[in-house]
Amino acid sequence: MDQIAVHQDSATSSDWPVAIYRTLKSFGVAQVSYVPDAGHSKLIKLSHADADIKTTVLTTEEEGVAMAAGAWLGGDRAVLLMQSSGVGNCVNMLSLMASCRFPLLTLVTMRGEWAEFNPWQIPMGRATPQAFEIMGATVLRLENPDDAEEVISAAASLAYDGDQQVAVLISQRMIGRKKWTRETH
């Protein structure tokens, strides 16, 4: 069926989305919003299956930034899932979070950095850390599946207890090489 973009799980990427999910649960996250990404697909499924988490698909990433502000006003902790190509869409809306010191925790699966096949992904992937940093957000990196719990936990504390905007960039190496054709890599 799908000749292109057949996703291939990396041997090292087995259960880190479950570790992220458990960590978010331990922080009492009650809202998850997302623009889909293959790298987030397992976490999105877990979130939708959890009756205690209100899970919302967005038309564009900045909606999730504004939504996280509203969630916090109402006493909910929110998480925004996206891929690096959507980070630029959020820049202006990050003003809202900085102006009001709203917590923001966003988990970003990276494209354009590791064995990237599609050159169109590279500019935004390369600019992703700076796009957050110019708006005052803190950028943490998750490079190793074994570190998932520790890094997400640190980011969640910084966001929800420290009233900061925090982005965790999940390495493309963890997500695995995207298989574009059936015959070759």
Partner 1 sequence: MSITPGTLDRRAAVKALLADRGDLLVISGLGSSSYDVFDAGDHASNFYLWGAMGGAAMVGLGLALAQPKRPVLVVTGDGEQLMGIGSLLTIATKQPGNLSVAVLDNGHFGETGMQPSHSGLGARLEVIADGAGIRSVSDIADMAGIERFRNSLRDLSGGPRLARIRIAAGEVERALPPRDGTYLKNRFRGHLGFKVS
Give the total residue count for the chain.
Answer: 185
Does 104 interact with partner 1 (rule: CB under 8 A)? no
Shortest separation between residue 55's beta carbon and partner 1, angstroms: 9
Candidate residues 19, 24, 43, 67; the one interacting with partner 1 per rule CB under 8 A: 67
**What crossing angle do the helices spanning 16-26 and 41-49 adopt, rounded to 10°?**
40
> How, if at all, do strands 178-179 and 6-7 pair?
antiparallel
Question: Of the ranges 7-15, 69-77, 141-149, 175-183, which one interacts with partner 1 (CB under 8 A)?
Answer: 69-77
DSSP state of 169: E
Interaction of residue 166 with partner 1, rule CB under 8 A: no
In the bound state with partner 1, the residue whose beta carbon lies nearer, of 60 and 181, is: 60
Kindly tell me which residue out of 8, 41, 56, 144 binds partner 1, with binding defined by CB under 8 A.
56
Within 10 Å of residue 110's Cβ, how many Cβ atoms?
27
CB of 105 to partner 1, least distance (A): 13
Q: Is the dihedral of CA 134, 135, 136, 142 positive or negative?
A: negative
Name the helix (H) or strand (E) containing 42: helix 41-49
- 52 binding partner 1? (CB under 8 A): no
Q: Rounded distance, CA 148 to CA 26, Å?
A: 14
The CB-of-88 to partner 1 minimum distance in angstroms stands at 15
CA 123, CA 174: separation in Å to the nearest integer? 20
Please say which residue, 8 or 157, places its beta carbon nearer to partner 1.
157
Specify whether the CB–CB gap between 184 and 143 falls below 8 A.
no
**Pick from 101, 81, 93, 54: nearest CA to 152:** 81
By CB under 8 A, residue 80 contacts partner 1? no
Nearer to partner 1 among residue 113 and residue 163 (C-beta) = 163
- Residue 131 sits in the site that holds partner 1 (CB under 8 A): no
Q: Does residue 59 interact with partner 1 by CB under 8 A?
A: yes
Binding site for partner 1 (CB under 8 A): 30-31, 54, 56-60, 62-76, 78, 92-93, 95-96, 99-102, 161, 163
